[in-house]
Amino acid sequence: MADWWEAEQRRTGAAGPPAGKPAPPSEGVPDDSGLTPEASGLAVPPAPVAPQASSSMPTPLALPSRRRHGWVPMTRLWALVKMASLAYTTWWAMGYVHAGVGTTVSAYGAVCLFAGFGARWRKRFFGPGQLIEPELYEEIGRWLYRIGVVLVLVGGAAVTAQYAAH
């Protein structure tokens, strides 16, 4: 059991016992049975050690605060360029297939949903700025998700209305 405990600690990097599991008994302290862990034959896992960060490659969060904030305008520009490229490729693709208004609106909604989900599931979807300002990009992801849902529904209603009119 001690091997499993050590492997689980290395895998999760957690300092405590896994969720739903009681903390392992201390050395020399009797458990509910009245036996010490050594007397009962259970091996006591060593105290977990926090993982050490590599100092060879500093992360954006490890940079001094002033230096990090100097990069904020550049990272926001990076995110804006990414969104502009998504919008442009959607416009190009919808023009290429000669899509109608409803289909185009739905496509922009799908792109907003893609970006909204990407911002929440991938920590660097919008680039390195998402590590420096996670709250901002979390809020942007929420708004993109909301806008995407509305656009997909409106586009779907437009396509349905078009087919119902024929």
Question: In the structure, what pLDDT confidence band is assigned to residue 128 with cuts at 50, 70 and 90?
Answer: confident
Burial (Cβ within 10 Å: 0-12, 13-18, ≥19) of residue 21:
exposed
Helices (H), the chain: 2-12, 37-40, 65-96, 101-121, 129-132, 134-165
Q: 109-113, 115-119, 150-154: which range is least confident on average? A: 115-119
Asked if 141 and 82 touch (Cβ cutoff 8 Å), the reply is no
Kindly tell me if the per-residue pLDDT of 7 is higher than 60. yes
Question: Which percentage of the chain shows pLDDT scores above 70?
Answer: 60
The dihedral over CA atoms of 126, 129, 135, 136, expressed in degrees to the nearest 10, equals: -70
The mean pLDDT of the chain is 78
pLDDT of residue 129: 86
How many Å is the maximal CA-CA distance in the chain? 83
Whole-number Å distance between alpha carbons of 83 and 114 = 11
Which pLDDT score, from 0 to 100, does residue 44 have? 55
pLDDT for 14-55, tens place per residue? 655 555 555 555 555 555 555 555 555 555 556 555 555 555
Q: What is the pLDDT of residues 73-90, one digit of tens each?
A: 898 999 999 999 999 999
Q: Given this model, what pLDDT does residue 57 score?
A: 52
Q: Which residues contact 136 (CB under 8 A, 6 or more apart)?
A: 129
- In the three-class reduction of DSSP (H, G, I as helix; E, B as strand; rest coil), residue 73 is classed as helix
pLDDT of residue 98: 92
